[in-house]
Amino acid sequence: MGDRLTTEPEPIWDLEAEKAVLGACMTVPYIVGYIRAVLPEPVAFLRPGHQIIYTAILDLYDSDAPTDTIAVKNHLQRAKTLGQVGGPLYLHDLMQGALGVGDPAYHAGIVLRHYRNRVGAAEADRISVRLRTADPDDGPELLRELAERLIKTADTITVGRPQRHIVDLDEFLNAPEEEYDWLIPGLLERGDRLMLTGPEGGGKSTLWRQIAIQAASGIHPFTGETIPPLRVLYLDLENSERQSRRKLRPLRIQARDAYQSGQLTIEVRPAGLDLLTAEDNAWLDDLVAEARPDLLLTGPLYRMASGDPIEEKHARSVSQALDRIRNRGCAVLIETHCPHGTGGQKRPERPYGASLWLRWPEFGLFLADDGAVRHWRGARDERSFPTLLKRGGEWPWTAVTDKKLLQWAQIKECRMQFLEPMTMRDVEEATGIPKSTVARILSDHRVEWDALNGMSVERVG
C-alpha cells in the first residue's frame, strides 16, 4: 500500500473580513473603540501583517492620536515595520475596501469567531497527538479534557459586543447638558455640515472665499466681531491657481494684520476629485491629515465624483468621504448648484443630484441673486444665519441689519411661497408686519413688487 498523501489544512480565517475591519479603523476614527471591545488582542488576526497594523492602530488610539492611514504609516515607519505589512499602498488598499463596508463591528465578529475556531482546533490537535500514544484507558479522560478546554475557549473568546446599558427617561434627562463646541459662536459648531446652493455666478464661491479668510483671521463673517482664529482648509475644485489668487488677494489685504500665517491652507485642484476611487480618497484624507482644519470649505459638489450625480451610490461615496473629515471634528461647508426649472416653473432651491443631499447636511441654504438667504431644508438647530446679504462694503458680502430691508426680504420670501398674487392683508397675515408698515415698504419697492406679485398697483393698495 503506497504512502498516504497528506496536505496542510486550509487556514481558518476570513481575509476580506480582516481587511474590512482594519480599513474601517483607519477610515472611521470613532469605530476603533467599538472594534476594540470585540477584538481586544491583535492575535485575533491570522495574517502577521494585520496583527502589526492593528497593534499600531491600538497604540495610536490609546495615545489619543488619529488612526488614519497617514498616522498608521508614520507609526509603522518609526517602528521599522512598514515593509512587513505591505507598505503604504497596502494601507490605502485597506482603506479602499472599507468604503463598501456596512457594519465593521459585524466583520469584527467574523474575525473573532475564526480566531475562536483556530484556538479550538489547536487544542483539538494537541489532544489528538496525545490520544495516538496514550493508553486506551486514558482516552475518556483526554476527551473530557478536550471538551472542557473547548468550553473554556467558547466562554473566554466570545463576540464581545459591549454590554448594552438600558437608559430610563429620567436618567437620560438628568444627564448634564453639553455645551456647544462653537467654531463660530452662534453660527457653526464643530462637526456641522452645511450645503449652499444658488444660481451659477450668484456669488457662492465669493462668499466661501470670504468666510475662509475671515474665519482664519478671527473675524465673524456676518457680524465682524472678533472670534478665536480657526484652522481653515479651502479646497477649490473649479478655478485655476491664477484665478484663485486674483480672487483671494483683495480679501487677504482686507484682513490686514488679523490674519496670521499658517491658519489658512489653500489647495487648488481644477481637475476636481473622483471620490469613487481609492486614489482620490487617499489624497483627500492625506490633505486633511496634514492641514488639520477646524473648517473645510470646498465645492462645487458635482466636481467631487465621476458618474451620474443622480445615482445614490455615487453620492454616498462622496458623503462618506466628507463624513470622515467631519468625524475629525471639522465643520464641512460645500457649495453646489440647484437644478434648472422645467416647463416655465420656478427654479428649485435644493441641490442638484441625488436625493441623499436633501437629508445629509444639518443646514441647507440658498443664496439668491438679490442676496436673500433661504433655508431649503429644516435646520436641525437654531443658528444665527443672516436672512439677507448685500454686495459690497468692507467685504464682498455684508449681512444686512436695516430693519426695513429685512422686512422687505421677508415679504418677498412670503410671496415666493404664496401660490397666488397677494393682497396687502395677505402680506400682513403671512408676515406679522403691521399693515401700515407693509404699505410703506411696498410703496418704497413698488416697481419690484408689481413685477413680483403680477398685479396692478390699485389692487395691491
- Look up the CATH number of the domain holding residue 120: 1.10.860.10
303 and 281 in a single domain? The answer is yes
| 419 in any annotated domain | yes
Are 306 and 336 contained in the same domain?
yes
Which one has a higher pLDDT value, 11 or 17? 17
Q: What is the pLDDT of residues 226-258, one digit of tens each?
A: 999 999 999 999 999 999 999 999 999 999 999
For residue range 283-297, list pLDDT tens digits in order.
898 899 889 999 999
User: Tell me, what's the pLDDT at 53?
Assistant: 96
Looking at the DSSP assignment, which residues form a beta bridge with residue 266? 234
Say if residues 409 and 388 touch (Cβ distance below 8 Å): yes
pLDDT digits (tens, 9 = 90+) for 269-286: 999 999 888 788 888 988
Distance CA 27, CA 101 (A): 11
For the chain, what percentages of helix, strand and coil (3-state, to nearest 5) are there? Answer: 50, 10, 40
Asked whether residue 107 is domain-assigned, the answer is yes
Residue 4 lies in a domain: no
Instruction: Provide the domain limits for residue 83.
Output: 9-162
Same domain, 256 and 334: yes
Q: Pick from 156-165, 338-347, 398-407 the range whose average pLDDT is largest.
A: 398-407
CB atoms within 10 A of CB 172: 8
Secondary structure element (H or E) that encloses residue 234, with its range: strand 232-236
CATH of the domain at 210: 3.40.50.300
Q: Name all contacts of 130-138 with Cβ < 8 Å and 24+ positions apart.
A: none
Whether residues 68 and 90 fall in one domain: yes
- Of the residues 398, 418, 446, which one is the last residue of a structural domain? 398
Residue 285: exposure state from Cβ atoms within 10 A (0-12, 13-18, ≥19):
buried
In a domain, 170, yes or no: no
Closest residue by Cα to residue 65 from 75, 53, 50, 78: 75
User: Do 366 and 382 belong together in one domain?
Assistant: yes
Domain identity same for 277 and 336: yes
Is 167 a residue whose pLDDT tops 80?
no
pTM across the whole model = 0.64
Among 115, 131, 162, where does a domain finish? 162
Tally of CB atoms within 10 A around 10: 6
Same domain? For 392 and 410 the reply is: no
- Which of 170-179, 201-210, 378-387 bottoms out in mean pLDDT, i.e. has the lowest? 170-179
330, 243: one domain = yes
Do residues 341 and 414 both lie within one domain? no
Same domain, 106 and 215: no
- Judge if 339 and 284 occupy the same domain: yes
289 within domain boundaries = yes
- If one counts the domains in the chain, the total is 3
> Looking at 398, 418, 447, which one is the last position of a domain?
398
Return the SS3 of 431. helix
Q: What does the alpha-carbon distance between residue 230 and residue 214 come to, in Å, rounded to a whole number?
A: 9
* Residue 104 or 191, more confident: 191
Would you say residue 109 has pLDDT above 90? Answer: no
Residue 100 corresponds to which cell in the numbers above?
Answer: 463598501
Residues 132, 278, single domain; the answer is no
171 domain-assigned:
no
| Dist. CA 431–CA 381, nearest whole Å | 22
Beta bridge partners of 232: 264, 295
- The mean pLDDT value of the chain amounts to 84
Whether 168 is in a domain gets the answer no
